Amino acid sequence: MKLASFAAAAALALCLAAAPASAQDRPDPSLQPSYGATDLVSGFEPDPFTTSLDAGGDYDASQLGVSGCVGFIARPPDYRINWTAGRTKLPLVFSVESDADTTLVVNDAQGHWLCDDDSGNGALNPSITIANPVSGQYDVWVGTFQSGPIQKATLNVSELYSQ
């Protein structure tokens, strides 16, 4: 009887290990960002704000169920922008520069997921433009188009340049 119980428990453990990613594995804006955070106020200088980070992760962004979400990202955000909007309604542009094929995922201040693959400067760089950004927290994930090793990348945040 003990052997049968052990065998059943072992089989259950194997099934759970092979199960698809759960909601707990999803990207989570409540986690601390891996590469830091900054406060930006409309009219910030220098523009663009830039920061270096590593792109990639184990989560398939297409599982977010949002149009345009592709690539592989990490669970915690890579970077966080705490944005204060100004009177002049300038766009907020997130873009990535990398030698690798990168993707971009942003959870905006209203909790919407925004994604891009190749709309940025160069054939393989992503860019997301938010026309009328509201004040609040913007969490950013920089992914790689294909699963694999992390890649060096630069995140740019601008009001003036569509990269």
pLDDT band of 10, cuts 50, 70, 90: very low
């927290």: which residue's tokens?
137
Mean pLDDT of 82-106: 95
CA distance 113 to 119: 16
pLDDT band of 5, cuts 50, 70, 90: very low
Mean pLDDT of 83-91: 92
CA distance 84 to 126: 24
For the stretch 15-32, pLDDT in tens is: 433 344 455 689 999 999
Identify the H or E element spanning 5: helix 2-17
**Ordered domains of the chain (ranges, CATH):** 27-158 (2.60.120.380)
Rg (CA), the chain: 19
Number of helices and strands in the chain (H, E) = 1, 11
pTM of structure: 0.85
